[in-house]
Structure 1
Amino acid sequence: MAKPQHILQLSEEQRSSFVDSFDRVLSDIDGVLWTLEHSVPRAADGYAALQRIGKKLTFLTNNSVRTVEQCVQKFAKIGMQVRPEQIWHPARSVVSYLQSIKFQGLIYIIASQQFKAVLREAGFQLLDGPNEFIEESYVCLAQHIFGREPVRAVIIDVDFNLTSPKLLRAHLYLRHPECLLIEGATDRLLPVAKGVNIIGPGAFASILMEASGKQALTLGKPGRELGELIVEQCKIDQPSRVLMIGDMLAQDVSFGRQCGFQTLLVLSGGCSREQLLAETDPQFIPDYYADSVADVAQLLGEAPKSRV
């Protein structure tokens, strides 16, 4: 497979062809617009330039810890007016999926309070916990993890208070043949600072998959179920005319490729240029790359006007 091209190294003809090749942009947020430490300089200019030439923008994140309302406020601080319906995160995706299959039943959930609130507001019944420390004895453990509740779905996403008893309890519910296993964010490692990663929720979801023998329905990137949901909800009839922008090879590029979208990796977050150039799996290699979304503004300033 050919190596990805930096968008600012495209010829004038290639730039024009690239700009005219997509109508909709799906974009990650963390690592693309901001990191834990700072906002990405002039990233907002890149999206403003895309909107000026008529591209539709949708933001797709694996971060459900930040609410949609908090995202809207954070966008506003960097000069972007983004509507709540333009933002998709795993909690919203899970709600849409459960509604699409007309799910009814009790849900055991391992996730943040913000994630749980989205599901409760949508009318779903949730169980969680144990949320307290338990005595280190098998008798006490059994009292906290065995239950007769008719749980028909287990959901796992980011939970900063994840404990062994929560995973053990989830596994026991999954023994029921009709109990679904649903994961939100799939990140096995989460970048929290330059060169510093922490274990992500994907690693814990894998424990449940291995222990239960069930394959999770994945409503975070790069999940197939999420892709199908986005294509349907956004009424995408030509996936090849969608550009996926992200900063992670495993989550963003892989998601875009799986959906048939074009892919643009930015080096402002979780992937370095060295990691990109060392990647050999075609599923993780983007069509294009850029230092940041600010390069898009520069590209569009020099490229011939889009026909869109």
Structure 2
Amino acid sequence: MNDSHPQHILHLSEEQQKKFLGSFDRVVSDIDGVIWNMYNTIPGAPEAFVALEKTGKELTFVTNNSVRTVEQAVRHFEKIGMSVRPEQITHPSQNTVDYLRQINFQGLIYIIASPPFKAVLREAGFQLIDGPNEIIDENFQSLAKKIFDQQPVNAVIIDVDFNMSSTKLLRAQLYLRNPECLFMEGATDRFLPIGKGVNIIGPGAFTNILLEASGRKPITVGKPGRELGKLLVEKYKIDQSDRVLMVGDMMAQDIVFGRQCGFQTLLVLSGGCTLEQLRSETDPSHIPDYYADSLADVAQILGQSRKSHF
């Protein structure tokens, strides 16, 4: 029911709420900004997911946060009263492994990413090089020694790296001069919300530098990548996309991803998007079917629905 004026789920009539809850069998949800943020659990979110599961909904979590491992996420879910299995979580590093295996990739990878991301690829048997990880002298001779390389790199992969440097980007740019070199990205977020009203530059901004410098468009295995959509549909054997509800707090990542996949979409305002930003958005691909202040609103509807024997 997407239009330029999405409805707040608590403003739906009781009959519309009942119809909404009956319109999907699986929930595909973001994590950060939906269930918890950097410091706290978002009130009502765990209760909403527990209630959704009790009504028979399948739960899948799709994150762009590769700094936190799947195992760490599972433990965090447990702390807040949710039982989530590793196979329910779709993670950028594992998406990368799945895609590389799907295309039968062979060869050396130059990677700009966090240590946990690199560890997943190494454990999967891929050969990686990275760096430079030290500060270089401020002269062209020192720079040239670090960015010009004769190693046969067959792929450049970029994701979140809190030690990002211009030297790493320059090195990646030079590898990408080879048209046969694969170019991949995980997380696409241009900004990362780390607190109320505080956003820091995200990996998407650095990927855009490489895109502009190389003229190469990356294969995207994070939200809102089409390749990720294909992997997810295949992994969870989704045959009715319109029976899936995508929940997220970012329009450019979560809502665009959901709409590309043919899912219904619910934007929550508990993370990286404000009501003002939602109201001022004009791109139809960014506008959700529904919105809510947080998943506590879903918990409230489910509470009402249980009373009416939904």
TM-score bin (small chain) = over 0.9
Q: Which residue of 1 aligns with 2:197?
A: 195
Give 1:197 deviation, angstroms.
0.9
CA contact 2:246–2:264 (8 Å) conserved in 1: yes
- Where structure 1 has 5 or more consecutive residues not aligned to the other structure, the ranges are none
1:46-85 to structure 2, matched below 5 A, reads: 46-85=48-87
Question: Counterpart amino acid of 1:85?
Answer: E
Q: SS in structure 2 opposite 1:133?
A: coil
Distance in 1 of aligned mates of 2:173 and 2:212: 10
Q: Which residue of 1 aligns with 2:138?
A: 136
Q: SS in structure 1 opposite 2:216?
A: coil
Question: Counterpart amino acid of 1:69?
Answer: E
Give 1:70 deviation, angstroms.
0.6
Q: Which of 33, 36, 40 does residue 34 from structure 1 map onto? A: 36
1:180-191 to structure 2, matched below 5 A, reads: 180-191=182-193
Q: SS in structure 1 opposite 2:245?
A: strand
List structure 1 runs of 4+ shifted beyond 2 angstroms: 303-306
Q: SS in structure 2 opposite 1:107?
A: strand
Q: Which residue of 2 aligns with 1:122?
A: 124
Question: Counterpart amino acid of 2:85?
Answer: R
Q: Which residue of 2 aligns with 1:277?
A: 279
Distance in 1 of aligned mates of 2:29 and 2:167: 36
Question: Counterpart amino acid of 1:224?
Answer: R
Q: Which of 268, 271, 275 does residue 270 from structure 2 map onto? A: 268
Give 1:261 deviation, angstroms.
0.5
Give 1:305 deviation, angstroms.
4.3
Q: Which residue of 2 aligns with 1:206?
A: 208
Q: Which residue of 1 aligns with 2:222?
A: 220
Bigger drift between 131-140 and 21-30 goes to 131-140
Q: Deviations over 1:19-74 (max 9, x none)?
A: 11111110000000111121101210000111001100000010000011110111
Question: Counterpart amino acid of 1:197?
Answer: N
Q: Which residue of 2 aligns with 1:259?
A: 261
Q: Which residue of 1 aligns with 2:96?
A: 94
Question: Counterpart amino acid of 1:163?
Answer: S
Q: Which of 226, 242, 245 does residue 243 from structure 1 map onto? A: 245
Distance in 1 of aligned mates of 2:65 and 2:4: 32
Question: Counterpart amino acid of 1:283?
Answer: S
Distance in 1 of aligned mates of 2:96 and 2:186: 7
Question: Counterpart amino acid of 2:214?
Answer: S
> Percent identity, aligned pairs only?
68
CA contact 2:175–2:181 (8 Å) conserved in 1: yes
Distance in 1 of aligned mates of 2:297 and 2:272: 17
Q: Which residue of 1 aligns with 2:155?
A: 153
Q: Deviations over 1:119-149 (max 9, x none)?
A: 0011100000011111111111111111111
Distance in 2 of aligned mates of 1:210 and 1:151: 20
Question: Counterpart amino acid of 1:6?
Answer: H
- Give the TM-score normalised by structure 1: 0.97
Question: Counterpart amino acid of 1:210?
Answer: E
- Give the TM-score normalised by structure 2: 0.97
Give 1:219 deviation, angstroms.
0.6
Q: SS in structure 2 opposite 1:181?
A: strand
Distance in 1 of aligned mates of 2:213 and 2:269: 36
Q: Deviations over 1:209-237 (max 9, x none)?
A: 11111110001101111111111111111
CA RMSD for the aligned pairs? Answer: 1.0
Q: SS in structure 1 opposite 2:265?
A: strand
Bigger drift between 216-225 and 292-301 goes to 292-301
Distance in 2 of aligned mates of 1:202 and 1:2: 26
Distance in 2 of aligned mates of 1:46 and 1:58: 14
Question: Counterpart amino acid of 2:115?
Answer: Q
Distance in 1 of aligned mates of 2:79 and 2:269: 22
Give 1:2 deviation, angstroms.
4.1
- The size of the alignment, in residue pairs, is 306
Question: Counterpart amino acid of 2:216?
Answer: K
Distance in 2 of aligned mates of 1:238 and 1:265: 21
Q: SS in structure 2 opposite 1:253?
A: helix
Q: Deviations over 1:83-118 (max 9, x none)?
A: 111111111111111111111110000000000001
CA contact 2:154–2:180 (8 Å) conserved in 1: yes
Distance in 2 of aligned mates of 1:196 and 1:245: 22
Distance in 2 of aligned mates of 1:94 and 1:305: 43
Q: SS in structure 1 opposite 2:302?
A: helix
CA contact 2:108–2:152 (8 Å) conserved in 1: yes
CA contact 2:4–2:287 (8 Å) conserved in 1: no
